[in-house]
Amino acid sequence: MGALASIATVLGAGATIYGHVRQAQTQAAGNAAQAAATAQQQQAQQAVLAAQQDEAAQQRRQTLAHTVAAARARMAAGGVLPDEGSAAALTGGLAREAAAAQGAEDATFRARMANGRASLLNPDGTLTALLQSGRGFGVIARNLLD
């Protein structure tokens, strides 16, 4: 009768371990599906951010071109050569300011893109379930040995 109880305990331990492993597998599959959905969402957000960045850069280039053209036209209308002296300094300054603004916008864009990334340290729960099943097996083995 004692051997039958030991066999039943071992079978119970095996069933418990199997249950923990199945639970871990189910949880891992759910976590993988959630991670895939999150990755797709992040890719969509990053595509939107990239499109917004491209549109803002295009608008900045157009604004710079119009401003420089207007400044050159005013200088030429005033009798000043638009490619020399203060007129060249003015248009060069406008170009430098636009480049600085673009650099700041690019830095903000990179920060926004990096902000959406998932951490590689996010737990998936599989190790926890495995350790819990090992702990359960240890308790059962200790009971058998007592």
Question: pLDDT tens digits, residue range 104-133?
Answer: 888 888 887 777 654 444 455 555 555 566
Do 94 and 68 contact (CB within 8 A), yes or no? yes
- State if pTM tops 0.75: no
What pLDDT shows up at residue 47? 84
- Burial group, residue 142, by CB count within 10 angstroms (0-12, 13-18, 19+): exposed
Q: How confident is the model at residue 101 (pLDDT cuts 50, 70, 90)?
A: confident
- The C-alpha atoms of residue 146 and residue 144 are separated, in whole angstroms, by 6
User: Tell me: the pLDDT tens digits for 44-73?
Assistant: 888 888 888 888 889 888 988 888 888 888
User: Tell me: the pLDDT tens digits for 20-50?
Assistant: 888 888 888 888 888 888 888 888 888 888 8
The number of residues making up the chain comes to: 146
What pLDDT shows up at residue 99? 86
Alpha carbon of residue 72 to chain centroid: 45
Structure tokens at 67: 């401003």
